[in-house]
Amino acid sequence: MDTFWEFFAIAVGLLVVLGGLAATFLRGRGGATKELPREQPTRPTGSAPSAPAETSERDDAGSVDTLPAPSEDSTVGDTTVEETLPPATVPDLDRPEAPQTRLQRLRARLSRSNTALGKGLLALLSRGDLDEEAWEDVEDTLLTADLGVEATTELVDSLRTRLKVHGNADEATVRGWLREELLTLVDPSMDRSIASSRVEGRPAVIVVVGVNGTGKTTTVGKLARVLVAEDKDVVLGAADTFRAAAADQLQTWGERVGVPTIRSDREGADPAAVAFDAVKGAAELEADVVLIDTAGRLHNKVGLMDELGKVKRVIEKQSPLDEVLLVLDATTGQNGLRQAEVFSEVVGITGIVLTKLDGTAKGGIVVAVQRRLGVPVKLIGLGEGPDDLAPFDPAGFVDAIIE
Q: For residues 325 and 379, is the Cβ–Cβ distance under 8 A?
A: yes
Residue 279, pLDDT > 80, answer yes
Q: Are both 340 and 220 inside the same structural domain?
A: yes
Q: What is the residue range of 375's domain?
A: 204-402
- Identity of the highest mean pLDDT range in 70-84, 105-119, 152-166: 152-166
CA 83/CA 150 separation, integer angstroms: 71
pLDDT digits (tens, 9 = 90+) for 329-339: 888 777 778 87
- Calculate mean pLDDT across residues 30-38: 39
Q: Are both 242 and 162 inside the same structural domain?
A: no
Q: Are both 141 and 249 inside the same structural domain?
A: no
Q: Are both 142 and 266 inside the same structural domain?
A: no
Q: What is the mean pLDDT of the chain?
A: 76
Measured from the Cβ of residue 142, the count of other Cβ atoms closer than 10 Å reads 24
Stretch (H or E) spanning 325:
strand 323-329
- Name the pairing type of β-strands 389-391 and 377-381: antiparallel
Question: Is residue 53 a part of any domain in this protein?
Answer: no
pLDDT digits (tens, 9 = 90+) for 62-94: 333 333 333 333 333 332 223 333 344 446 787
Domain count, the chain: 2
Residue 269, pLDDT > 80, answer yes
pLDDT digits (tens, 9 = 90+) for 10-20: 666 666 555 66
Question: Is residue 173 a part of any domain in this protein?
Answer: yes
Q: Are both 140 and 275 inside the same structural domain?
A: no
Q: Are both 157 and 210 inside the same structural domain?
A: no
Question: Is residue 64 a part of any domain in this protein?
Answer: no
Q: Residues annotated as binding site?
A: 210-217, 293-297, 355-358
For 70-82, the DSSP string reads PPTTS-BTTB-HH
**Which one of 159, 186, 213 terminates a domain?**
186
Question: Is residue 218 a part of any domain in this protein?
Answer: yes
| pLDDT score, position 10 | 67
Burial of 82 (0-12, 13-18, 19+ CB in 10 A): exposed
**Which one of 186, 214, 242 terminates a domain?**
186
Q: Residues annotated as binding site for GTP?
A: 210-217, 293-297, 355-358
For 345-368, the DSSP string reads HHH---EEEEE-GGG-S-TTHHHH
Q: Are both 132 and 275 inside the same structural domain?
A: no
Question: Is residue 77 a part of any domain in this protein?
Answer: no
Stretch (H or E) spanning 154:
helix 149-166
**Which one of 132, 157, 186 terminates a domain?**
186
Q: Are both 214 and 343 inside the same structural domain?
A: yes
Q: Are both 328 and 240 inside the same structural domain?
A: yes
